[in-house]
Structure 1
Amino acid sequence: MRDETRAQRQLQIEEAAYALLGEKGYGATSMLSVARVARASNETLYRWYGDKRGLFKSMVETNARDIRAALRDAIDCGADPLASLEKVAPVLLTMLLGEKAVLLNRAAAADETGELGAALAEGGRNAVAPLIEALLRQSMESGAIRAPSAATAAEWFLGLLIGDLQIRRVIGVLPEPGADFVADRVAGALAAFRVLCANAS
Protein backbone atom coordinates (compact mmCIF):
# COMPACT_ATOMS: atom_id res chain seq x y z
CA MET A 1 0.00 0.00 0.00
CA ARG A 2 1.34 3.42 -0.95
CA ASP A 3 2.25 5.77 1.91
CA GLU A 4 -0.42 8.35 1.03
CA THR A 5 -3.10 5.66 0.77
CA ARG A 6 -2.11 4.19 4.12
CA ALA A 7 -2.10 7.65 5.73
CA GLN A 8 -5.59 8.30 4.41
CA ARG A 9 -6.85 4.95 5.71
CA GLN A 10 -5.25 5.56 9.09
CA LEU A 11 -7.01 8.91 9.29
CA GLN A 12 -10.34 7.20 8.54
CA ILE A 13 -9.64 4.55 11.18
CA GLU A 14 -8.74 7.14 13.79
CA GLU A 15 -11.84 9.22 13.02
CA ALA A 16 -13.94 6.08 13.50
CA ALA A 17 -12.21 5.46 16.83
CA TYR A 18 -12.93 9.03 17.98
CA ALA A 19 -16.60 8.62 17.06
CA LEU A 20 -16.89 5.37 19.01
CA LEU A 21 -14.92 6.79 21.94
CA GLY A 22 -17.39 9.65 22.27
CA GLU A 23 -20.37 7.32 21.95
CA LYS A 24 -19.28 4.32 24.03
CA GLY A 25 -16.19 5.25 26.02
CA TYR A 26 -12.80 3.57 25.95
CA GLY A 27 -13.74 0.29 27.61
CA ALA A 28 -16.59 -0.46 25.22
CA THR A 29 -14.66 0.52 22.10
CA SER A 30 -13.11 -2.57 20.56
CA MET A 31 -10.76 -3.00 17.65
CA LEU A 32 -13.50 -4.92 15.87
CA SER A 33 -16.03 -2.10 16.30
CA VAL A 34 -13.49 0.44 15.01
CA ALA A 35 -12.75 -1.80 12.03
CA ARG A 36 -16.45 -2.09 11.23
CA VAL A 37 -17.13 1.66 11.41
CA ALA A 38 -14.00 2.44 9.38
CA ARG A 39 -14.81 -0.36 6.91
CA ALA A 40 -11.36 -1.83 7.44
CA SER A 41 -10.35 -5.37 8.29
CA ASN A 42 -9.69 -6.28 11.89
CA GLU A 43 -6.42 -7.82 10.73
CA THR A 44 -5.29 -4.49 9.28
CA LEU A 45 -5.90 -2.71 12.58
CA TYR A 46 -3.89 -5.27 14.54
CA ARG A 47 -1.10 -5.25 11.95
CA TRP A 48 -0.81 -1.44 11.97
CA TYR A 49 -1.42 -0.69 15.66
CA GLY A 50 -0.72 -3.90 17.56
CA ASP A 51 -3.68 -3.56 19.91
CA LYS A 52 -6.26 -1.05 21.13
CA ARG A 53 -3.77 0.79 23.32
CA GLY A 54 -1.48 1.12 20.32
CA LEU A 55 -4.32 2.56 18.24
CA PHE A 56 -5.16 5.22 20.81
CA LYS A 57 -1.50 6.04 21.44
CA SER A 58 -1.17 6.60 17.69
CA MET A 59 -4.19 8.93 17.82
CA VAL A 60 -2.55 10.96 20.60
CA GLU A 61 0.70 11.12 18.64
CA THR A 62 -1.14 12.24 15.51
CA ASN A 63 -2.84 15.01 17.49
CA ALA A 64 0.53 16.28 18.76
CA ARG A 65 2.50 15.74 15.52
CA ASP A 66 2.67 19.39 14.44
CA ILE A 67 3.85 20.55 17.86
CA ARG A 68 6.59 17.92 18.02
CA ALA A 69 7.77 18.79 14.51
CA ALA A 70 7.86 22.53 15.22
CA LEU A 71 9.79 22.03 18.46
CA ARG A 72 12.32 19.70 16.82
CA ASP A 73 12.86 22.21 14.00
CA ALA A 74 13.45 25.00 16.50
CA ILE A 75 15.94 22.89 18.47
CA ASP A 76 17.81 21.70 15.36
CA CYS A 77 18.12 25.08 13.65
CA GLY A 78 19.17 26.94 16.79
CA ALA A 79 16.40 29.52 16.51
CA ASP A 80 15.80 31.89 19.40
CA PRO A 81 14.14 29.61 21.98
CA LEU A 82 11.65 32.12 23.37
CA ALA A 83 10.67 33.31 19.90
CA SER A 84 10.19 29.67 18.94
CA LEU A 85 7.99 29.07 21.98
CA GLU A 86 5.94 32.12 21.05
CA LYS A 87 5.23 30.49 17.68
CA VAL A 88 4.61 26.98 19.01
CA ALA A 89 2.55 27.90 22.09
CA PRO A 90 -0.66 28.84 20.21
CA VAL A 91 -0.55 25.55 18.29
CA LEU A 92 0.04 23.62 21.52
CA LEU A 93 -2.73 25.38 23.45
CA THR A 94 -5.21 25.08 20.57
CA MET A 95 -4.50 21.35 20.33
CA LEU A 96 -4.81 20.77 24.09
CA LEU A 97 -8.14 22.61 24.25
CA GLY A 98 -9.49 21.13 21.02
CA GLU A 99 -12.27 18.58 20.76
CA LYS A 100 -10.03 15.58 20.14
CA ALA A 101 -7.83 16.18 23.18
CA VAL A 102 -10.88 16.89 25.35
CA LEU A 103 -12.59 13.69 24.17
CA LEU A 104 -9.48 11.63 24.88
CA ASN A 105 -9.08 13.14 28.35
CA ARG A 106 -12.74 12.64 29.25
CA ALA A 107 -12.53 9.02 28.19
CA ALA A 108 -9.25 8.54 30.07
CA ALA A 109 -10.80 9.93 33.26
CA ALA A 110 -13.61 7.37 32.98
CA ASP A 111 -11.30 4.46 32.14
CA GLU A 112 -10.79 2.53 35.37
CA THR A 113 -7.95 0.48 33.90
CA GLY A 114 -5.75 3.55 33.39
CA GLU A 115 -4.76 2.19 29.98
CA LEU A 116 -5.94 5.20 27.99
CA GLY A 117 -4.38 7.60 30.49
CA ALA A 118 -1.05 5.84 30.08
CA ALA A 119 -1.33 6.10 26.29
CA LEU A 120 -2.18 9.80 26.61
CA ALA A 121 0.85 10.45 28.79
CA GLU A 122 3.21 8.43 26.60
CA GLY A 123 2.13 9.84 23.25
CA GLY A 124 1.38 13.35 24.50
CA ARG A 125 3.06 15.08 27.43
CA ASN A 126 5.95 12.63 27.72
CA ALA A 127 6.78 13.25 24.05
CA VAL A 128 6.28 17.04 24.02
CA ALA A 129 7.57 18.20 27.42
CA PRO A 130 11.17 16.95 26.85
CA LEU A 131 11.31 18.95 23.62
CA ILE A 132 10.19 22.11 25.42
CA GLU A 133 12.77 21.32 28.09
CA ALA A 134 15.50 20.98 25.45
CA LEU A 135 14.52 24.29 23.89
CA LEU A 136 14.58 26.05 27.26
CA ARG A 137 17.93 24.45 28.08
CA GLN A 138 19.32 26.24 25.02
CA SER A 139 17.87 29.48 26.33
CA MET A 140 19.47 28.91 29.75
CA GLU A 141 22.83 28.13 28.18
CA SER A 142 22.72 31.39 26.23
CA GLY A 143 21.87 33.31 29.40
CA ALA A 144 18.50 34.50 28.09
CA ILE A 145 16.61 32.96 31.02
CA ARG A 146 17.43 31.66 34.49
CA ALA A 147 15.81 28.71 36.26
CA PRO A 148 16.86 25.98 38.70
CA SER A 149 16.82 23.53 35.78
CA ALA A 150 15.47 23.20 32.25
CA ALA A 151 12.87 20.75 33.58
CA THR A 152 11.68 23.33 36.10
CA ALA A 153 11.56 26.02 33.40
CA ALA A 154 9.42 23.72 31.24
CA GLU A 155 7.06 23.10 34.18
CA TRP A 156 6.78 26.84 34.79
CA PHE A 157 6.02 27.54 31.15
CA LEU A 158 3.43 24.77 30.77
CA GLY A 159 1.76 25.73 34.04
CA LEU A 160 1.46 29.37 33.01
CA LEU A 161 0.23 28.48 29.53
CA ILE A 162 -2.28 25.76 30.35
CA GLY A 163 -3.20 26.23 34.01
CA ASP A 164 -6.61 24.69 34.62
CA LEU A 165 -7.92 25.42 31.12
CA GLN A 166 -7.88 21.82 29.92
CA ILE A 167 -9.58 20.58 33.08
CA ARG A 168 -12.29 23.20 32.64
CA ARG A 169 -12.74 22.09 29.03
CA VAL A 170 -12.94 18.43 30.04
CA ILE A 171 -15.64 19.05 32.67
CA GLY A 172 -17.61 21.19 30.23
CA VAL A 173 -17.48 24.60 31.88
CA LEU A 174 -15.26 26.24 29.26
CA PRO A 175 -16.21 26.38 25.57
CA GLU A 176 -13.59 25.74 22.94
CA PRO A 177 -11.63 29.01 22.84
CA GLY A 178 -11.16 31.10 19.75
CA ALA A 179 -7.96 32.51 18.28
CA ASP A 180 -8.15 35.79 20.24
CA PHE A 181 -8.41 33.96 23.57
CA VAL A 182 -5.45 31.74 22.65
CA ALA A 183 -3.33 34.71 21.53
CA ASP A 184 -4.04 36.62 24.75
CA ARG A 185 -3.30 33.57 26.88
CA VAL A 186 0.01 32.94 25.11
CA ALA A 187 1.07 36.58 25.43
CA GLY A 188 0.25 36.62 29.14
CA ALA A 189 1.99 33.30 29.80
CA LEU A 190 5.18 34.34 28.03
CA ALA A 191 5.25 37.72 29.79
CA ALA A 192 4.85 36.04 33.18
CA PHE A 193 7.43 33.39 32.24
CA ARG A 194 10.03 36.04 31.37
CA VAL A 195 9.46 37.81 34.69
CA LEU A 196 9.67 34.53 36.58
CA CYS A 197 12.91 33.54 34.86
CA ALA A 198 14.41 37.00 35.31
CA ASN A 199 13.84 36.76 39.09
CA ALA A 200 14.94 33.14 39.47
CA SER A 201 18.05 32.56 41.52
Structure 2
Amino acid sequence: MQDHKKEARSQQIEDAAYEVLRDKGYGAASMLSIAKKAKCSNETMYRWYGDKVGLFRALVERNAQQAVTVLNDALDQNVEPLQTLRDLGPVLLSALLDEKAVALNRAAAADTTGELALALAQAGRGTVAPLIEDVIQRAVTTGAISGPADEATEVYLSLLIGDLQIRRVVARMPPLEDAAYQHRAARAVDGLKTLFPA
Protein backbone atom coordinates (compact mmCIF):
# COMPACT_ATOMS: atom_id res chain seq x y z
CA MET A 1 0.00 0.00 0.00
CA GLN A 2 1.32 3.45 -0.90
CA ASP A 3 2.37 5.65 2.02
CA HIS A 4 -0.29 8.32 1.48
CA LYS A 5 -3.01 5.67 1.19
CA LYS A 6 -1.79 3.91 4.33
CA GLU A 7 -1.73 7.23 6.20
CA ALA A 8 -5.30 8.03 5.11
CA ARG A 9 -6.40 4.53 6.13
CA SER A 10 -4.66 4.84 9.49
CA GLN A 11 -6.44 8.12 10.11
CA GLN A 12 -9.77 6.50 9.25
CA ILE A 13 -9.09 3.65 11.70
CA GLU A 14 -8.00 6.02 14.44
CA ASP A 15 -11.07 8.23 13.93
CA ALA A 16 -13.22 5.10 14.24
CA ALA A 17 -11.37 4.17 17.44
CA TYR A 18 -12.27 7.53 18.98
CA GLU A 19 -15.92 7.06 17.99
CA VAL A 20 -16.07 3.60 19.57
CA LEU A 21 -14.19 4.88 22.62
CA ARG A 22 -16.73 7.68 23.15
CA ASP A 23 -19.69 5.35 22.56
CA LYS A 24 -18.58 2.25 24.48
CA GLY A 25 -15.59 3.13 26.68
CA TYR A 26 -12.18 1.49 26.58
CA GLY A 27 -13.22 -1.85 28.09
CA ALA A 28 -15.84 -2.52 25.41
CA ALA A 29 -13.84 -1.03 22.55
CA SER A 30 -12.70 -4.24 20.86
CA MET A 31 -10.48 -4.39 17.79
CA LEU A 32 -13.38 -6.01 15.94
CA SER A 33 -15.84 -3.22 16.81
CA ILE A 34 -13.31 -0.61 15.67
CA ALA A 35 -12.58 -2.56 12.46
CA LYS A 36 -16.30 -2.68 11.67
CA LYS A 37 -16.68 1.05 12.31
CA ALA A 38 -13.65 1.78 10.09
CA LYS A 39 -14.83 -0.73 7.45
CA CYS A 40 -11.52 -2.55 7.43
CA SER A 41 -10.45 -6.09 8.19
CA ASN A 42 -9.59 -7.27 11.67
CA GLU A 43 -6.39 -8.69 10.16
CA THR A 44 -5.29 -5.21 9.08
CA MET A 45 -5.93 -3.88 12.56
CA TYR A 46 -3.76 -6.52 14.21
CA ARG A 47 -1.06 -6.32 11.52
CA TRP A 48 -0.73 -2.52 11.86
CA TYR A 49 -1.23 -2.04 15.61
CA GLY A 50 -0.51 -5.41 17.23
CA ASP A 51 -3.38 -5.26 19.70
CA LYS A 52 -5.82 -2.85 21.30
CA VAL A 53 -3.18 -1.31 23.56
CA GLY A 54 -0.99 -0.74 20.49
CA LEU A 55 -3.84 0.98 18.68
CA PHE A 56 -4.57 3.33 21.56
CA ARG A 57 -0.86 3.97 22.07
CA ALA A 58 -0.81 5.08 18.40
CA LEU A 59 -3.66 7.50 19.14
CA VAL A 60 -1.69 9.04 22.01
CA GLU A 61 1.49 9.24 19.93
CA ARG A 62 -0.33 10.95 17.07
CA ASN A 63 -1.88 13.41 19.51
CA ALA A 64 1.55 14.23 20.96
CA GLN A 65 3.35 14.32 17.60
CA GLN A 66 3.16 18.07 16.99
CA ALA A 67 4.64 18.85 20.41
CA VAL A 68 7.40 16.27 19.85
CA THR A 69 8.15 17.84 16.45
CA VAL A 70 8.37 21.36 17.90
CA LEU A 71 10.78 20.16 20.58
CA ASN A 72 12.96 18.04 18.30
CA ASP A 73 13.19 20.77 15.67
CA ALA A 74 14.14 23.35 18.30
CA LEU A 75 16.81 21.07 19.76
CA ASP A 76 18.20 20.21 16.30
CA GLN A 77 18.24 23.83 15.15
CA ASN A 78 19.50 25.26 18.44
CA VAL A 79 16.51 27.60 18.83
CA GLU A 80 16.68 29.85 21.90
CA PRO A 81 15.28 27.62 24.68
CA LEU A 82 12.85 30.03 26.34
CA GLN A 83 11.43 30.91 22.91
CA THR A 84 11.02 27.19 22.30
CA LEU A 85 8.97 26.92 25.51
CA ARG A 86 6.81 29.88 24.44
CA ASP A 87 6.22 28.22 21.07
CA LEU A 88 5.59 24.83 22.64
CA GLY A 89 3.02 26.00 25.19
CA PRO A 90 0.02 26.50 22.87
CA VAL A 91 0.83 23.31 20.93
CA LEU A 92 1.07 21.23 24.09
CA LEU A 93 -2.08 22.72 25.61
CA SER A 94 -4.00 22.05 22.43
CA ALA A 95 -2.82 18.42 22.42
CA LEU A 96 -3.77 17.95 26.08
CA LEU A 97 -7.12 19.72 26.03
CA ASP A 98 -8.69 18.94 22.66
CA GLU A 99 -11.69 16.62 22.37
CA LYS A 100 -9.56 13.59 21.45
CA ALA A 101 -7.35 14.01 24.50
CA VAL A 102 -10.41 14.47 26.70
CA ALA A 103 -11.93 11.24 25.31
CA LEU A 104 -8.70 9.34 25.97
CA ASN A 105 -8.39 10.66 29.52
CA ARG A 106 -12.02 9.93 30.36
CA ALA A 107 -11.62 6.40 29.07
CA ALA A 108 -8.35 5.94 31.00
CA ALA A 109 -10.04 7.08 34.21
CA ALA A 110 -12.77 4.47 33.70
CA ASP A 111 -10.43 1.65 32.64
CA THR A 112 -10.07 -0.69 35.62
CA THR A 113 -7.16 -2.56 34.00
CA GLY A 114 -4.96 0.55 34.01
CA GLU A 115 -3.51 -0.35 30.61
CA LEU A 116 -4.84 2.75 28.83
CA ALA A 117 -3.52 5.02 31.59
CA LEU A 118 -0.11 3.36 31.24
CA ALA A 119 -0.16 3.84 27.45
CA LEU A 120 -1.13 7.51 27.94
CA ALA A 121 1.69 8.05 30.43
CA GLN A 122 4.34 6.33 28.32
CA ALA A 123 3.44 7.67 24.88
CA GLY A 124 2.39 11.11 26.12
CA ARG A 125 4.22 12.57 29.09
CA GLY A 126 6.91 9.89 28.97
CA THR A 127 7.86 11.07 25.48
CA VAL A 128 7.31 14.83 25.77
CA ALA A 129 8.59 15.63 29.28
CA PRO A 130 12.18 14.38 28.67
CA LEU A 131 12.39 16.59 25.56
CA ILE A 132 11.14 19.58 27.56
CA GLU A 133 13.79 18.82 30.17
CA ASP A 134 16.44 18.80 27.41
CA VAL A 135 15.26 22.27 26.32
CA ILE A 136 15.28 23.51 29.91
CA GLN A 137 18.74 22.04 30.49
CA ARG A 138 19.89 24.06 27.49
CA ALA A 139 18.33 27.17 29.07
CA VAL A 140 20.25 26.44 32.27
CA THR A 141 23.50 25.80 30.37
CA THR A 142 23.19 29.07 28.43
CA GLY A 143 22.37 31.00 31.60
CA ALA A 144 18.83 31.96 30.61
CA ILE A 145 17.57 30.44 33.88
CA SER A 146 19.10 28.57 36.81
CA GLY A 147 18.67 24.87 37.57
CA PRO A 148 18.14 22.10 38.38
CA ALA A 149 16.54 21.27 35.03
CA ASP A 150 14.33 18.42 36.28
CA GLU A 151 12.75 20.64 38.94
CA ALA A 152 12.35 23.52 36.49
CA THR A 153 10.62 21.13 34.06
CA GLU A 154 8.04 20.13 36.70
CA VAL A 155 7.44 23.78 37.56
CA TYR A 156 7.06 24.76 33.89
CA LEU A 157 4.50 22.00 33.28
CA SER A 158 2.60 22.95 36.44
CA LEU A 159 2.52 26.62 35.46
CA LEU A 160 1.45 25.81 31.91
CA ILE A 161 -1.16 23.14 32.52
CA GLY A 162 -2.27 23.53 36.15
CA ASP A 163 -5.58 21.74 36.64
CA LEU A 164 -6.87 22.42 33.11
CA GLN A 165 -6.74 18.75 32.07
CA ILE A 166 -8.79 17.64 35.04
CA ARG A 167 -11.33 20.42 34.57
CA ARG A 168 -11.74 19.54 30.88
CA VAL A 169 -12.08 15.82 31.57
CA VAL A 170 -14.79 16.30 34.20
CA ALA A 171 -16.62 18.70 31.83
CA ARG A 172 -16.26 21.70 34.11
CA MET A 173 -14.56 23.83 31.49
CA PRO A 174 -15.23 24.44 27.79
CA PRO A 175 -12.38 24.35 25.26
CA LEU A 176 -10.08 27.37 25.48
CA GLU A 177 -9.49 29.90 22.71
CA ASP A 178 -6.08 30.14 21.04
CA ALA A 179 -5.45 33.49 22.77
CA ALA A 180 -5.80 31.78 26.15
CA TYR A 181 -3.21 29.18 25.13
CA GLN A 182 -0.81 31.93 24.07
CA HIS A 183 -1.35 33.80 27.34
CA ARG A 184 -0.73 30.72 29.49
CA ALA A 185 2.39 29.83 27.50
CA ALA A 186 3.89 33.30 27.99
CA ARG A 187 2.92 33.34 31.66
CA ALA A 188 4.51 29.93 32.25
CA VAL A 189 7.84 31.10 30.80
CA ASP A 190 7.69 34.35 32.79
CA GLY A 191 7.00 32.32 35.94
CA LEU A 192 9.90 30.01 35.18
CA LYS A 193 12.24 32.99 34.82
CA THR A 194 11.01 34.41 38.14
CA LEU A 195 11.34 31.15 40.07
CA PHE A 196 14.64 30.11 38.48
CA PRO A 197 16.38 33.44 37.88
CA ALA A 198 19.48 33.55 35.73
Give TM-score scaled by structure 1 length: 0.96
The corresponding residue for 2:125 is 125
Identity %: 52
Q: Counterparts of 1:125-144 in structure 2 under 5 Å?
A: 125-144=125-144
Report the alpha carbon displacement of residue 94 of structure 1 after superposing the two structures with TM: 1.3
Report the alpha carbon displacement of residue 7 of structure 1 after superposing the two structures with TM: 0.5
Looking at structure 2, the residues matched to 88 and 182 of structure 1 have their Cα atoms a distance apart, in angstroms, of 10
For 1:156, the aligned partner's letter is V
Report the alpha carbon displacement of residue 115 of structure 1 after superposing the two structures with TM: 0.6
Q: Counterparts of 1:14-93 in structure 2 under 5 Å?
A: 14-93=14-93
| 1:131-162 Cα shifts (integer Å, max 9, x gaps) | 00001111111111112x22111111000000
Q: Give the secondary-structure state (helix, strand or coil) at the position aligned to 1:124.
A: helix
**What is the aligned-residue RMSD (CA, Å)?**
0.9
- Structure 1's consecutive aligned runs of 4 or more residues displaced over 3 angstroms after TM superposition are none
The corresponding residue for 1:197 is 196
The corresponding residue for 1:163 is 162
Give TM-score scaled by structure 2 length: 0.98
The corresponding residue for 2:112 is 112
For 2:153, the aligned partner's letter is A
| 1:10-43 Cα shifts (integer Å, max 9, x gaps) | 0000000000000100000000000000001000
Q: Give the secondary-structure state (helix, strand or coil) at the position aligned to 1:146.
A: coil
Looking at structure 1, the residues matched to 183 and 149 of structure 2 have their Cα atoms a distance apart, in angstroms, of 25
Looking at structure 1, the residues matched to 150 and 31 of structure 2 have their Cα atoms a distance apart, in angstroms, of 37
The corresponding residue for 1:94 is 94
Kindly tell me the number of residue pairs found equivalent between the two proteins.
Answer: 198
Looking at structure 2, the residues matched to 38 and 194 of structure 1 have their Cα atoms a distance apart, in angstroms, of 47
| 1:62-98 Cα shifts (integer Å, max 9, x gaps) | 0111110110010111110001111111111111111
- Do residues 153 (structure 1) and 132 (structure 2) align? no
Looking at structure 2, the residues matched to 145 and 192 of structure 1 have their Cα atoms a distance apart, in angstroms, of 11
Q: Give the secondary-structure state (helix, strand or coil) at the position aligned to 1:46.
A: helix
